[in-house]
Structures are given as C-alpha cells and as structure tokens.
Chains A and B, each alone.
Chain A
C-alpha cells in the first residue's frame, strides 16, 4: 500500500506563556521550541505500520521553510521512504491554500492512501486533510482511531462523541484524518534522525505548482488575536502540602463526600 502522509512543524506551547506579536495578529514563536504536530506523529506511525504489514512506499509531505525539514527527517527516521517540502516563500497561507498546494504536489503520484493528523496544535482548524481529499477526489473519513485493511477496502473506526465509535468501510483510494491515541508513535533517536539525513527531500516552490493567484490567496484572515481574560476562576488555596490536604478534605466533607 503506497501512502502519502502530511506533517507540520508547530511551536511547542505546553506550559508556555504566549506573547502576542506587535502586529496583534499572531504570537511570538521565534523563541519557542518546535515539534512535529502531535496528531501528525500518530499519522506517520500509522503509515509506517501499514507499510510494515502490507509493503509499499511512504512519502512524507510538509508545507514550510527549511527549518520545517526537521519534521520530514523525523518521518524519514521513523520509516518513510522519501519526503517533499513545499516552500511557501513569502506567500501567506491558510488551510485552503495548503490543501491546494499539497494536492498539486502529489496529484501525479500513485498512492492508495493519504493520512493527515485530525488537526494542527497551533491553529486547531482541522481543514487541510478533508479539503485535500475533496480536491483529489478521494473518499475520506475524519477523526479515525483505527484502520484495518480488508478486501481492498479499509475498515475504519471513527471517534464520535461520548465514547461512541462508528465503524465504516471506506473505498480506496482514501484520505483519513488520524486521531491521537490510534497507536504509539515509535521513538526515534538523534542518531536515527541523522542517519535519515541521507534520504532524499525534494523541495518545490509553492509558485511552481501551477496554482493560480486565486488558489494562492487565503480565504480567511485573522484580524486580531488576544490572550484569554484572566477572570474569576478558582479560589486558590495556599500553604504547605499537609495544610492543603486538610483544606481539601474539609471542602470534600462539606460537599457531602464520605471520606
């Protein structure tokens, strides 16, 4: 099974205080560590697992600058065979532009399956995958937490709400957006990533993909970003751990919990 997997490099923001940039339209990310988008790590692992079972080729794709090749090298170290970086240059991007660019870059390839993460950690949009599927005319399913190839189709487990999963048979070729937790992404060492440096990364400029100016023009625009207001919230308890424990036990008893 030949698979294309789409990955994105994102700032790591857990336990980080974000700072709004001077423009008021984005946050300062230069000083932050960057990682592979969490969902994409699961998508790459799923692609490699399928390749290990069924054979085939895995191609990793990203849209980004040279720094973003780091996530392609990670995908290559995990087992992808080759990688493509679409360089946006000075073009501004949104989900629809990214989907059109990836579609143009991979439409000539032969593949059975495209995997993306459900969404990206930074903009939380969840649009690129399904837009890409529609542009390429692939069948698709979103929020997938299980894939089982079966008689030329895929049996997929879609995560709905409230602990309910939906089981669907999906025709190939298909695109699935992968939910976190579907597998356990393998560990890659720094050595592994260094070794993967020998594998090929093809770079294409976004303007060389034959897209029109309209295609390259974002449909949405961020007018303003702001940090959530620090309003109300919890009554903070203070003291050493034993004082805190006593206070919490007292609250629980008051709220009717038998301890």
Chain B
C-alpha cells in the first residue's frame, strides 16, 4: 500500500506541463505514504521521453501501440484500469483536462474506486487522502474526503495547482509492457487537431490588451471598447462568456481554452476572473481590473483595481486620451 500511479498526458510529441506538476506533487505525497511512485505513459511511440523524465518517478511504465495514439479512450481506459487492478495503488492521479475529464469518471466506474475531480490541493491526514476543491466557480473552497479509500482513490488535478520540481530526485526504471492482446475495438477514432486560435489578430503578441468580459452586457456595446483599444494602440481580447455568446470570434479569447497572453499591461473590463481566465494571464506584466463588483475574484490577482462601471471608465479614458 501507499503506492501512487500518475497517468501522463502528452500531445504532439511533448509531455504536458500538468503531468509534470502532478508528478512533482506526487513525489511529496509518495514520501508521506512511504510508497512507490509510478508514471504511466501510453503512446504510439514514446520517443519523446527524456532521461530527465525518469527522475520524476521510481518507475516509468511505457506502453507503445498504434492503438494508443492521440488519447484513444478505449485503449487508454482498458490499459489503465488493468494496471490499477493488478497493482492496487493507494492513489491514482491525472490532470483535470479534457482528456482527464473523460478518463477519471470512467476509471472510477471500472475500478470501483472513489473519485474527486478538479482538485486544487491534495494533503495527507495520516495515510488518508484529503482533496481541496473549489465550488461555485471558485467562490467557495471544500475539503473533501472519501468514505472508503481502503482500496485506493482517484483524483483529477487542476492544471497550474502545483509547481514543477526543477531537479527531481528519483531514479525511475523504464518498464515496457505489452498492450493486452484482447484490447477491444475502439469506440471512436481520431481525425485531426484544429487550431481555432488562428484569426485576423494575434492576441498573444500584443503589448497592451484591452479585454472585455460578461460585464460588457451586450454585443452592440463592444464597438465602444474596440474604439478604446484602437485609441490606446492596444488589441481587443475577451473572456469566455463573450465568445460563448457569439459576440466575438474565438481568436480573441484569453484563458485555458483560449490563448495564454503576455502583454505589458492587461486591462480587464467587466471580467469577473474565473480560474480558467486567470490561468491565461499569468504571463501578463501588469493587470488592471475594472469591475462594478468589488468582490469580483479578478481583484485578488490584479495589480490595480477600479470599482466602476466599465463604460463610464472607458468614456473617461477616451476623454483623457483626447486631451
């Protein structure tokens, strides 16, 4: 008991940061549990694994098979649930990513192990696992435990929750195992990746982003802010709700599912600050937030805050710039 298994995600030939973050946290948890840390990598060809990577676990299990390329769910779920049943780890960790959101609940059903999703913290109370989650879009924290984790438990971890250990100290053995012969036919097949970020403007290169959120209220008023952005020599960007409502094309979207940006100044107008959005502005030099709601989460991460109606503020900015 006490062993930890980490499902490693990779895309287009590189390991995803969330998996390195999880392995770094798992290193600490494995010491607390006095268990062995295993990373599992499934790929058509795992030629992207560096010798550096093996320092992140006591053992790296690699399964190479065409049928496991591009997160083929059927193959992945079958292989991982078999490993869990064979090895009985105390804790299985994966990212709360689109793929992890598909895999985690499926593994819970197949293995009968309890699941906590989108965890932003993991701690040990003796040998018991406690997960820290957020409810109501980050307005509330919840400490969650499992009724019965005697056979182990599953956690999906929010990307960005843990730092990556720069000098990992384990010496993982590379173990290659064969894919089970009786792997059932896949229930879906990969076609292609499409980049939705390509468009008329590139928000990732802008020095000043003037960004709007739900607070803009209606599509018709976006022009007022576009004009402001033009006056300031900045580029117009936005948060998810603006794209969801069809008010701006997706290539304007900042955040986890949009683009990560790194302007000198990020001016957030009427953006409440969901964590997916905050993750996208981590690289911004200075964040200035304008919001009517003084309790908007964006004020917790902004450098400067203004509690004001965004249009009143925008009009005043235009007037000052015209002077």
Least distance between B102 CB and chain A CB atoms (Å): 4
Chain A residues, Cβ within 8 Å of B134: 124
The reply to whether B97 and A161 contact each other, CB–CB distance below 8 Å, is yes
Give B156's nearest chain A residue, CB to CB: A126
| B53 sits at the interface (CB 8 A) | no
Query: In the bound complex, do residue A27 and residue B136 qualify as a contact, i.e. CB atoms below 8 Å apart?
Result: yes
Question: From A15, which residue of chain B is reached at the shortest CB distance?
Answer: B293
**Given A163-B250, A220-B144, A244:B115 Cβ within 8 A:** no
Residue in A15, A161, A171, A180 with the greatest tally of chain B CB atoms within 10 Å: A161
Q: Are B105 and A130 in contact (CB under 8 A)?
A: yes
Per-position 1/0 for A5-43, Cβ under 8 A of B: 000000101110110100000010000000000000000
- Decide: A234 near B299, CB < 8 A? Known: A27-B136, A163-B195, A180-B240: yes
Q: Which one of A44-52, A81-89, A221-229 is at the B interface?
A: A221-229
- Measured CB to CB, the nearest residue on chain A to B105 is A130
Task: State whether B308 touches A122 (Cβ < 8 A).
Answer: no
A255 and B146: CB pair below 8 A?
A: no
B105 touches A134 (CB 8 A): yes
The residue from B104, B272, B289, B316 contacting A244, defined by CB atoms under 8 A apart: B316
The residues of B that contact A123 with a CB separation of less than 8 Å are: 135
With a 10 A CB-CB cut-off, give which of B98, B110, B116 has the most chain A CB atoms: B98
Query: Which chain B residues numbered 76 to 132 have a C-beta less than 8 Å away from chain A?
Result: 96-99, 101-102, 104-106, 108-110, 114-118, 130
In the bound complex, how far is the Cα of B109 from the Cα of A95, in angstroms?
A: 11
Give the chain A neighbours of B138 by CB distance below 8 A: 228
Interface string of A206-221 (1 = CB under 8 A from B): 0000000000011111
Considering only CB atoms, which chain A residue lies closest to B196 in the complex?
A163
- Return A126 CB to nearest CB of chain B, in Å: 5
Residue pair A226, B140 in contact (C-beta under 8 Å): yes
Would you call B163 an interface residue if the criterion is a C-beta within 8 Å of the partner chain's C-beta atoms? no
Interface string of B268-302 (1 = CB under 8 A from A): 00001000000000000111110001010101111
Q: Which residue of B lies closest to A159 (CB)?
A: B257
Collect the chain A residues with CB atoms within 8 Å of residue B232's CB. Answer: 252, 257, 259
B191, A155: Cβ atoms closer than 8 Å? yes
CB pair B147 A218 closer than 8 Å: yes
CB proximity of B314 to chain A, nearest CB, Å:
9
B286 touches A160 (CB 8 A): no
Set of chain A residues within 8 Å of B196, measured between Cβ atoms: 163-165
B106 touches A130 (CB 8 A): yes
Seed contacts A130-B101, A223-B145; 16 additional CB < 8 Å A-B pairs: A128-B105, A134-B106, A140-B73, A141-B73, A166-B193, A167-B190, A167-B194, A171-B188, A181-B244, A218-B147, A219-B114, A235-B303, A240-B316, A249-B321, A257-B207, A257-B208
11 CB < 8 A contacts A-B = A14-B272, A127-B117, A143-B101, A157-B194, A163-B251, A163-B259, A164-B194, A181-B246, A241-B312, A244-B306, A258-B233
Interface on B for A, CB 8 Å cutoff?
A: 11, 70, 73, 96-99, 101-102, 104-106, 108-110, 114-118, 130, 133-148, 159, 187-197, 207-208, 232-234, 240, 243-246, 250-251, 253, 256-260, 264-265, 267, 272, 285-289, 293, 295, 297, 299-308, 312-313, 315-317, 319-321
